[in-house]
Structure 1
Amino acid sequence: MKVGIAGLGRMGSGMANTLLRNSVDVFGYDINIKAMDKFTSSDHFIAAKNITELFSCDYVILSLPEGNNVIDILKSYKGGSIIMDTTTISLNELQKILDSLGDYKSNYLSCKLERGPQEANEGKLALFLGGDEQLYIKSLEILHILGSPMHIGTHYQATMMKLISNMVGTAVVDIFGEMSVLIRKLGIDPKIAIEALSMGGANSITQMFRLEWQSKDEFGEAFSMELAQHVIEMALESARDLGVSSLHLIEQNNLMMKLAKNMGFGSKDVGEISKLYWNLNDSDNHLQ
């Protein structure tokens, strides 16, 4: 089995590592040559000279910054490979991509990723699939290597489910950011706070690590505020396209992320929104 990957950023390189560990031949391409150089020690990695070379593979995974990048790359596609598009896009961008594919869209799977670079490296991604169900079934071998796949339905349903997941996730991070101020002022050990919250209705397994970061004011490199806010604006735009114009909680979350970003917070992770709330709540006055 040969798999091409267009885009060897944090997610693309993570998926490449997982495939290589499973002895899959990976043809990788990135406009940044250094991104390909780090794989040269692997016997199963081939640095593609151009995008066209990727389309000789059985599968081509697209891990690109924007929908326009997807359209540009697919101009070289003449059928054959199964395309798995992991790029986070709006519904409007999806429509443009499907229109650009024409008759070849029967080989296209929307493959939207949840979780982050660490899980990409570990083969523990959640994958929301949209498109032809038989094509999905045919692709299960490769999908199971990457993580836990689920066929959501149409391209539009899978794309929107990814955006819904992002909206819920960032709203939870926002709430945790506010609550971390209380945890810190009370002097509660973050690990104890997390264990207590995990026992009740506040349990959110996928975001609890951020609450610890927020409570300690120590952040790892994960999902930047700028990227998170960009995705939420994309989600709100897509919701409006569906006729849903009132998502007040998400709109408020988006506003707070903008404010935090403008204050210089969030270069490492969206969880740094807690710094905004710490500033708003007069952080120097500790509870005795």
Structure 2
Amino acid sequence: MVPDSPDVREVTLGEDGVLAGASEGALAIDMSTISPAVAREVAAAADGRGVGALDAPVSGGESGAIEGRLSIMVGGSDEHFARAEEMLSAMGTPTHVGEAGAGQVSKACNQVIIAGVIQAVSEALVLGSKAGVDPQEMVRALGGGLAGTRVMEAKESNFLDHDFEPGFRAELHHKDLGIALATAREYGVSLPLTALVDQLLAALEHRGRGKDDHSALLSLVEEAAGHRVGEGA
């Protein structure tokens, strides 16, 4: 697992890369979050050398990795997935979502959803808090209804305590939304909400906060509203 598409190209397709040293019949599994196009490029190069390939990005964060409960989105052939399923299951729940590149498309969709929900929760918390509602009690109330989300549950302390120590860095989520937007352009899909959150994550980076947790999007909403969540509650 490496940070971005150029890194995967270098590690797998480079002169001393994985494929250069792989034996025929081997299976290469890339768990990075990268462009679906690059995942397909790697799979085609692997196939040309008689090597199997799976793109298998994950969601679940550091805690999910430690506890073995990652969601693993796998692209590649049925045969290659069957070979890897038991091993991947040691890290979490692997789901075969389609052919080469499909794992990366699914991960891009995952990041689109998380970005939108973080922004929505941030806006709701600032609105409720500035209107005089206790944010902790509001989170408890909302969590019991349709508005309750895994994001709100997992990031509650980040939002309420303004604890932006990174679980997932804003700069990495910004990179991932770039992948999602590029993929959307490839298929002629408009993602207006994603484009907005992409710009907000860029604003965090410009403030030198790219290494903060992505829940730091809250601080931009607070800044615009002139209100810090919890003040006066």
TM-score range, shorter chain: 0.7 to 0.9
Which digits, 9 at most, give the CA deviation of each residue in 1:139-173, with x for residues without a partner?
22211111111111112222101100111111111
Q: Residue 68 in 1 paired to residue 6 in 2?
A: yes
Task: Report how many residues are paired.
Answer: 224
Structure 2: how far apart are the matches of 1:189 and 1:282? 16
Unmatched runs of 5 consecutive residues or more in structure 2: none
Counterpart code for 1:64: V
Decide whether the 8 Å contact of 2:24 with 2:50 is kept in 1.
Answer: no
Written as runs of structure 1 = structure 2, the 5 A alignment for 1:199-210 is: 199-210=144-155
The secondary structure found in structure 2 opposite 1:126 is strand
Written as runs of structure 1 = structure 2, the 5 A alignment for 1:188-267 is: 188-190=134-136, 192-244=137-189, 246-267=190-211
Which digits, 9 at most, give the CA deviation of each residue in 1:182-216, with x for residues without a partner?
344335152x3222112222121244222431122
Structure 2: how far apart are the matches of 1:172 and 1:284? 19
Decide whether the 8 Å contact of 2:54 with 2:100 is kept in 1.
Answer: yes
Unmatched runs of 5 consecutive residues or more in structure 1: 1-62
Structure 1: how far apart are the matches of 2:147 and 2:209? 25
Structure 2: how far apart are the matches of 1:127 and 1:220? 24
CA 1:240–1:177 in 2, change beyond 3 Å: closer, same or farther?
same
Counterpart code for 1:254: D
Structure 1: how far apart are the matches of 2:45 and 2:7? 12
Structure 2: how far apart are the matches of 1:172 and 1:275? 15
Structure 1 stretches of 4+ with a deviation exceeding 4 A read 284-288
Counterpart code for 1:68: P
CA 1:101–1:68 in 2, change beyond 3 Å: closer, same or farther?
farther
CA 1:125–1:256 in 2, change beyond 3 Å: closer, same or farther?
same
The secondary structure found in structure 2 opposite 1:221 is coil
Structure 1: how far apart are the matches of 2:57 and 2:228? 42
CA 1:265–1:178 in 2, change beyond 3 Å: closer, same or farther?
farther
Shift of 1:65: 1.8
The secondary structure found in structure 1 opposite 2:56 is strand
Structure 2: how far apart are the matches of 1:222 and 1:232? 17
Match 1:169 to one of 114, 119, 122:
114
Written as runs of structure 1 = structure 2, the 5 A alignment for 1:180-195 is: 180-185=125-130, 186=132, 188-190=134-136, 192-195=137-140
User: What CA RMSD, in Å, does the superposition of the two structures yield over aligned residues?
Assistant: 2.2
Which digits, 9 at most, give the CA deviation of each residue in 1:106-130, with x for residues without a partner?
5111112111111111111111111
Structure 1: how far apart are the matches of 2:45 and 2:110? 27
Counterpart code for 2:193: L
TM-score after normalising by structure 1? 0.71
Shift of 1:78: 3.1
Shift of 1:268: 2.5
The secondary structure found in structure 1 opposite 2:166 is coil
Higher helix share: 2
Q: Which has the higher contact order (CA 8 A, sep 6+)?
A: 2
Match 2:104 to one of 148, 155, 159:
159
Identity of aligned residues (%): 21
Decide whether the 8 Å contact of 2:47 with 2:53 is kept in 1.
Answer: no
